[in-house]
Amino acid sequence: MPPADLRLSDYRPTDLSHAKTLPSRWYLDAAILPVERERIFWRTWQWLGQAASLTAPGDYLAHDVQGEKIVAVRGGDSELRAFFNVCKHRAGPVAVGCGNAQTLRCPYHGWTYDLDGALRRAREFEGVEDWQASSVRLDPVSAATWGPLALVNLDATAPSFDVVLGEIGAEVAGAGFPVEEMVHVERREYEVRCNWKVYVDNYLEGYHIPVAHPALYKAIDYDVYRVETRRFHSRQHAPFRGNEQALYYWVFPNLMLNLYPDNLQTNVIQPIDQERTLTIFDWFALPDLSAERRRGVDEAVEFSEQIQREDIRVCEWVQERLGSRAYDTGRLSVKRENGVHHFHLLMHEFLTGDPWA
Ligand code: FES
Ligand SMILES: [Fe+2]
């Protein structure tokens, strides 16, 4: 259970017209992040890396999910699996970085594991009692790919990534966006001096666009901008004036998917500590884009850079003030901040209960 002094009951879930924002201490207290890791980041689907690193049998990719060390592996049977990257001997790693191998071999004392996680060989271990090599396995983790992304979920009771995506799968397929064919073209990382939830709150509303993003405001049709909330994700309807079709999603808790006919931008929002956040922006595009379309993607990267600078500024302003004795909670625009409210309800739901049950 979360420590009692977090007072999770300070947030009362209610309908949007009566709702308050999350209590400011949820954005400030160092005790909240370990609880969020336990109840949210280690229970939901988390970005691990690129699916392109995991295509051939033997491909492996080791990465960190909020402090837990994880490795994903494409087996000899072409199945994608993932494990805690923790050797059962004395907790060495079974893989470092990424590459291709026929076994996972711990670089400490050399125990080797098959790509399905079973221990194959432990050197010089004869005579050890109450221990059988054949019953030693790496602890499994759920793994999935979606388009160019590889994801894992540390909670064996969690639904599949497709279930969490819900309507997104059919909408992307219906739009005909070929996400499976897209390849990585660009990455930008930004460290933001705010709690990760300040950044997500900001992403989930268009209310600030006319004031904080003058250039974006000119480019979109603000009057028809709206957020549609679903069970574990929300969709933003944000049409660019006279422009092509696009789909914008946020998937609880920290993944954003921005889809266009020939490219995809993903944002992954990772807490570093309770007041610092790493935002990772990746762009993927069809490999055979014309020079003109490729220039269009480059322009989108630069436009996003400008918007991100403006968002970082407002998020840092907010973080500097959330601790003020003059503030605890605020109210939400019914017309424009329903996406923020939906996020807060999910936060409360995951922190206080078991939404997968
Ligand atoms: S810790 Fe892995 S072989 Fe010893
Ligand atoms: Fe913004």
Q: Which residue out of 86, 106, 113, 123 has the highest number of ligand 1 atoms within 8 Å of its CB and is therefore the one to mutate?
A: 106
What is the pLDDT, as a whole number, of residue 339? 98
How many angstroms separate the CA atoms of 144 and 232, rounded?
17
The CB of 86 under 6 Å from ligand 1? The reply is no
The topology under which CATH files domain 46-153 is Rieske Iron-sulfur Protein (2.102.10)
How many angstroms separate the CA atoms of 57 and 81, rounded?
11
Number of Cβ within 10 Å of residue 115's Cβ equals 22
So where are the chain's domains?
46-153, 177-352
Which residues share a beta bridge with 247?
A: 259
The CB of 121 under 6 Å from ligand 1? The reply is no
Residue linked to tokens 């400011």: 24
pLDDT in tens, 92-142: 999 999 999 999 999 999 999 999 999 999 999 999 999 999 999 999 999
The CB of 113 under 6 Å from ligand 1? The reply is no
Mean pLDDT of the chain: 96
Closest by Cα among 104, 72, 101 to 87:
104
What are the structure tokens assigned to 336, written together? 């424009």
What is the pLDDT, as a whole number, of residue 238? 86
5: pLDDT confidence band, cut at 50, 70 and 90? low
DSSP3 helix / strand / coil % (the chain, rounded to 5): 30, 30, 40
The topology under which CATH files domain 177-352 is Naphthalene 1,2-dioxygenase Alpha Subunit; Chain A, domain 1 (3.90.380)
Provide the CA 151 distance to its chain's centre, in angstroms: 9
Q: Which residue out of 85, 90, 112, 131 has the highest number of ligand 1 atoms within 8 Å of its CB and is therefore the one to mutate?
A: 90
Q: Are the folds of 46-153 and 177-352 the same?
A: no
Identify which ligand lies nearest to the alpha carbon of 217. 2
At residue 146, what are phi and psi to the nearest 5 degrees? Answer: -140, 115
pLDDT in tens, 271-297: 999 999 999 999 999 998 899 988 988
The CB of 87 under 6 Å from ligand 1? The reply is yes
Which residues share a beta bridge with 98?
A: 61
